[in-house]
C-alpha cells in the first residue's frame, strides 16, 4: 500500500458501495492434488454508511468490521467515507486524533491499510479490523507465534446445545494466531489474513466467540456468534506526526494449500527470505551427551567418520550447549582445551563446516557477565532483574539488548566465532529477546519489542556473513524471516514417543509445511538411529526418519555414525537430500487425518514417493486412490526400503494398515520400473545403499 493512496483520497460521500475482485490463484505444482488453484472466487469489500465494512468471499463473510484501539471499539465524533472505483477511504475523527482506513486491492488480495495521526504516543494495540462477525466458516487455521505452535486446522468450537447441570458455562473461548490466519467454508473456500512486513510490530489475529443461553440452569443454547480481529502491537511507542501500520492482506481462493503457498511467496519476496543455502544434512552434538559433549567426543566422531566406506556426505558438525557458562560465550570450559577455535579448526580440517550454538539473550547467574555487568540485564517495571529460570546451580536471566555495551558485546561474540571458523550458527531461546516493552524496563526505552529484536537479528546476520547458515530455535517466526536460513518448528524430539515432543513435531511440521523452503528450511529436529539410551522402537525411529526425509527440510542427527549398524547407516544415506530444495506436498492438508500422508515427486524417473504415518495409539486402515496422490488414475506400486523394493503391480488404490506409530513408504511409477537401488528419498543417487 503506497502512502500516496492516503493523500489522493480527499473527498467524502455517504453512499453505499463495494468492490468485487475475482482472484486467480494459479499454482501448477499443487493444482492436481489440491484442486485447481486457477479457479476464481469473488471477493469484495462492502463499506457501510456508519464506517463499518464487510468482507465477502463466496459463501464466507466477515461483517460489521470496525477499527479498535486496544480492546475498545472506536467511538468517533464523526465518520467520513469516500468510495472510489478500487475501494474506499474511511476516516474516524476522534477529537484531535484520527484513524484512517483505506480499503483497496492488489493483484492477489484485498488490502487494508491503517494510519493513526493527531497524537504523539501509540496505544498498546491497534486493530484496523475488529469485531468482524464470521459467517459461513466451519473450520479455521491458526499459526502459533513460533516454535511449538500450537498450529493447524481446527473446527470452530460449537457450544453444548443442552446442559442438564447447574454449572457455569465454559464454552466462551478466544484463540490467537500469527503469521497467517484463515477461515474455511464447507466448500473449502478460503479467506486468509496476513501481513507482508514484520520488522516493526507484532501482528496478531484472534478468533473468539460470544454466546447466550436461556432457560433454568442455562439449559438451552440461544445463540453463538464468532468474531475475528486483526491488529498490531504498538506498545505505546512515541511517534511524531503519523503512525502508518503494515498493510493487512486478505486473500481468497478455493484451493487452501495453494493459497497459503501463494501468500508465503509474497511474504518471502517482501521480507527477502533466505532460501539459497543447500538443503541441510548434518550432525548436532546435543541429543546423546547433551552438556557433557567435549573435544574428546568430537575427535572420536571425526576419527570414526574416517573409517566409514564409502564416506558419508556430511555437511557440518554443530556443537551445542555445554561448552561454556551461558553468557560467557567466548570463554570455553575445561572440556574444550584450546577453546572453540581449536574445535572449529578440527571440523574444518575434516572437510566439514563448523557450527556453534548460542543463546544470545541468555545469561547464567554464575557467569562473569552477570557478576561484572548487572546493568546489562533486563529488568521488570519494579527495577528487579528478570529471572527466566531457577536451577539447583543458579538462575537464568535476560540480556537487555537496548544497552549499547550489551549490544556491542553480542556483536563481538558473533564476529569472533565467525573469525574462528564457524559458518553454521544455531541461535536458541530467541523468544527471550522478544519482550513487550510495556512489561519490562529497558536501558534505552522508546521502541517496540519487535524493533529491539530486529536490531539484534540484523546485527547477527551482518557479523556471521551472507555465507553462513543460520538456524533459529525456540523463536518467534515473524521477525526472523529474511535473516535465518532454517527454523525449528517444534519441541525437542524425545527418547520415547509422547504427545508433547514427537506428537508436537508431527503436528507442527504438517501444519507449517506450507512455508517450507519458501520462508526458510523447516527444521523438525533430529532423528534417532542408535539403539542405546533410547526407548523408541525400531518402527518409531524409522517413522520419524522417513517423515523428516520426505518433507524436504533439514536432516540432522546426534548419533555417532561409526557406532551404527550397517542397516542404520544405510537409512542415514537414504535420507540424503539434493543440494537444491525439494518440498513434499500434502494431499490431505485441510482434512483432519490421523494417518499423515506426504508425497514427493521425482520427475526424472516419472515416479512419486508416498509416505503414510500412523501417529495415533490405534491401528489405522484406509484405502487411498492413487489419483488423489499423483493426479493419474493408476501406477505401478512398490513398497520402498533403503536399497530395496517389493512390487505390488498396477494399482488404482493403495490399501494401508498400520500399527500405532508405524509408517510405510511406497514408490509409485508410471514406467513399471522399481526405484533405482542407490536412489535416496531425496531423489539423488548415492553410494553405500
How confident is the model over 254-268, as pLDDT tens digits?
999 999 999 999 999
CA 689/CA 673 separation, integer angstroms = 18
For 238-300, the three-class secondary structure string (H helix, E strand, C coil) is ECCCEEECCCEEEEEECCHHHHHHHHHHHHHHHHCCCCCCCCCEEEECHHHHHHHCCHHHHHH
pTM: 0.94
Residues 121-138 have pLDDT tens digits of 999 999 999 999 999 999
Which contacts (CB < 8 Å, 24+ apart) does range 562-565 have? 562/301, 562/303, 562/304, 562/305, 562/307, 562/308, 563/304, 563/530, 564/529, 564/530, 565/531
Q: Give mean pLDDT, residues 33-47.
A: 69
pLDDT confidence bin for 112, thresholds 50/70/90: very high
pLDDT of residue 39: 57
pLDDT of residue 167: 82
CA 651/CA 624 separation, integer angstroms = 11
Residues 634-677 have pLDDT tens digits of 999 999 999 999 999 999 999 999 999 999 999 999 999 999 99
Angle at 44 between CA 175 and CA 107, to 5 degrees: 95
Is the pLDDT at 12 greater than 50? The verdict is no
Three cell numbers at 325? 557458562
Please give the share of the chain, as a percent, with pLDDT higher than 70.
Answer: 94
Residues 478-535 have pLDDT tens digits of 999 999 999 999 999 999 999 999 999 999 999 999 999 999 999 999 999 999 999 9
Closest CA to 246 of 198, 181, 179: 198
Read out DSSP for 581-637?
A: ----B-TTTTS--SEEEEEEEEGGGTEEEEEEEE-SSS-EEEEEEHHHHHSSS-EEE
Q: What is the CATH number of domain 4-271?
A: 2.70.98
**351 close to 357: Cβ distance less than 8 angstroms:** no
Main-chain dihedrals φ then ψ at residue 448, nearest 5 degrees: -80, 165
Main-chain dihedrals φ then ψ at residue 404, nearest 5 degrees: -55, -40
pLDDT of residue 9: 40
pLDDT of residue 6: 41
pLDDT confidence bin for 139, thresholds 50/70/90: very high
Is the pLDDT at 63 greater than 80? The verdict is yes
pLDDT of residue 84: 82
Alpha helices in 313-435 (DSSP H): 339-349, 368-372, 404-420
Q: Give mean pLDDT, residues 340-354.
A: 99
Q: Which residue has the cell 481468497?
A: 252
CA 279/CA 71 separation, integer angstroms = 44
**114 close to 90: Cβ distance less than 8 angstroms:** no
pLDDT of residue 40: 59
pLDDT of residue 8: 41
Rounded mean pLDDT of the chain? 94
DSSP 502: I
CA 581/CA 566 separation, integer angstroms = 28
Is the pLDDT at 24 greater than 60? The verdict is no
**414 close to 401: Cβ distance less than 8 angstroms:** no
Main-chain dihedrals φ then ψ at residue 205, nearest 5 degrees: -115, 145
Give CA 429 to chain center in angstroms: 15
Q: Give mean pLDDT, residues 230-241.
A: 96
Amino acid at each position: 500500500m503506497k502512502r500516496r493512496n492516503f493523500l489522493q483520497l480527499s473527498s467524502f460521500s455517504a453512499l453505499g458501495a463495494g468492490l468485487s475482485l475475482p482472484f486467480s490463484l494459479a499454482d501448477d505444482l499443487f493444482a492436481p492434488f489440491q484442486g485447481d488453484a486457477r479457479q476464481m472466487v469473488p471477493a469484495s469489500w462492502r463499506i457501510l454508511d456508519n464506517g463499518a465494512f464487510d468482507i465477502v468471499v463466496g459463501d464466507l463473510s466477515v461483517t460489521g468490521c470496525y477499527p479498535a484501539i486496544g480492546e475498545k471499539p472506536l467511538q468517533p465524533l464523526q465518520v467520513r467515507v469516500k468510495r472510489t472505483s478500487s475501494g474506499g477511504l474511511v476516516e474516524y475523527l476522534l477529537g484531535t486524533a484520527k484513524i484512517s482506513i483505506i480499503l483497496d486491492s492488489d493483484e492477489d488480495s484485498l488490502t487494508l491499510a491503517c494510519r493513526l495521526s493527531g497524537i504523539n504516543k501509540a496505544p498498546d494495540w491497534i486493530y484496523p479490523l475488529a469485531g468482524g462477525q464470521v459467517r459461513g466458516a466451519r473450520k479455521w487455521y491458526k499459526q502459533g507465534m513460533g516454535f511449538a505452535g500450537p498450529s493447524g486446522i481446527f473446527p470452530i468450537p460449537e457450544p453444548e446445545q443442552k446442559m442438564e447441570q447447574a454449572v457455569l458455562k465454559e464454552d466462551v473461548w478466544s484463540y490467537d494466531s500469527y503469521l497467517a490466519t484463515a477461515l474455511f467454508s464447507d466448500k473449502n473456500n478460503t479467506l486468509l489474513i496476513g501481513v507482508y512486513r514484520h520488522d516493526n510490530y507484532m501482528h496478531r489475529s484472534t478468533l473468539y466467540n460470544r454466546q447466550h443461553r436461556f432457560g433454568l440452569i442455562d439449559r438451552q443454547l440461544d445463540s453463538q456468534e464468532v468474531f475475528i480481529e486483526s491488529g498490531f502491537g504498538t506498545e505505546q511507542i512515541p511517534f511524531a506526526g503519523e503512525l502508518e501500520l503494515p498493510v493487512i492482506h486478505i486473500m481468497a481462493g478455493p484451493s487452501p494449500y495453494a493459497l497459503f503457498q501463494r501468500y508465503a511467496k509474497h511474504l518471502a519476496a517482501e521480507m527477502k527470505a533466505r532460501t539459497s543455502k543447500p538443503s541441510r544434512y548434518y550432525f548436532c552434538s546435543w541429543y546423546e551427551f547433551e552438556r557433557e559433549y567435549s573435544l574428546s567426543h568430537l575427535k572420536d566422531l571425526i576419527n570414526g567418520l574416517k573409517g566409514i566406506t564409502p564416506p558419508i556426505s556430511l555437511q557440518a558438525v554443530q556443537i551445542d550447549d555445554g561448552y561454556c557458562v551461558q553468557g560467557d560465550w567466548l570463554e570455553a570450559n575445561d572440556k574444550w582445551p584450546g577453546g572453540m577455535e581449536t574445535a572449529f579448526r578440527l571440523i574444518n580440517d575434516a572437510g566439514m563446516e563448523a557450527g556453534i550454538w548460542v543463546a544470545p539473550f541468555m545469561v547464567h547467574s554464575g557467569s562473569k557477565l552477570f557478576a561484572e555487568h548487572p546493568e546489562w540485564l533486563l529488568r521488570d517495571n519494579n527495577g528487579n532483574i528478570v529471572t527466566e529460570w531457577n536451577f539447583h546451580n543458579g538462575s537464568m536471566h535476560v540480556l537487555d539488548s537496548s544497552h549499547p555495551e550489551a549490544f556491542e558485546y553480542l556483536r563481538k561474540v558473533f564476529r569472533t566465532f565467525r573469525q574462528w571458523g564457524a559458518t553454521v550458527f544455531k541461535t536458541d531461546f530467541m523468544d527471550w529477546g522478544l519482550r513487550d516493552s510495556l512489561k519490562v524496563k529497558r536501558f534505552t526505552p522508546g521502541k517496540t519489542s519487535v524493533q529491539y529484536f530486529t536490531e539484534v537479528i540484523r546485527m547477527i546476520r551482518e557479523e556471521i556473513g551472507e555465507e553462513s547458515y543460520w538456524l533459529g530455535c525456540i523463536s518467534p517466526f515473524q521477525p526472523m524471516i529474511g535473516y535465518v536460513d532454517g527454523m525449528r518448528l517444534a519441541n525437542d524430539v524425545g527418547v520415547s514417543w509422547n504427545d508433547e515432543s514427537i506428537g508436537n513435531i508431527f503436528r507442527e511440521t504438517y501444519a507449517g509445511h506450507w512455508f517450507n523452503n519458501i520462508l526458510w528450511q523447516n527444521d523438525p529436529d533430529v532423528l534417532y538411529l542408535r539403539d542405546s539410551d533410547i526407548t523408541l522402537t525400531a518402527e518409531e525411529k524409522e517413522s520419524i526418519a522417513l517423515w523428516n526425509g520426505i518433507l524436504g527440510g533439514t536432516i540432522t542427527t546426534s548419533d555417532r555414525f561409526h557406532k551404527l549398524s550397517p542397516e542404520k547407516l544405510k537409512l542415514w544415506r537414504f535420507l540424503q537430500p539434493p543440494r537444491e530444495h525439494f518440498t513434499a506436498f500434502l494431499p490431505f492438508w485441510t482434512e483432519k487425518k490421523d494417518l499423515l500422508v506426504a508425497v514427493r515427486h521425482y520427475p526424472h524417473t516419472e515416479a512419486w514417493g508416498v509416505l503414510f504415518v500412523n501417529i495415533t495409539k490405534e491401528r489405522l486402515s484406509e484405502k487411498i486412490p492413487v489419483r488423489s496422490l499423483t493426479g493419474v488414475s493408476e501406477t505401478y506400486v512398490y513398497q520402498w526400503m533403503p536399497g530395496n523394493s517389493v512390487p505390488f503391480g498396477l494399482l488404482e488404490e493403495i490399501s494401508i494398515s498400520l500399527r500405532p506409530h508405524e509408517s510405510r513408504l511406497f514408490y509409485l511409477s508410471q514406467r513399471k520400473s522399481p526405484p533405482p537401488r542407490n536412489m535416496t528419498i531425496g531423489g539423488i543417487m548415492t553410494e553405500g545403499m
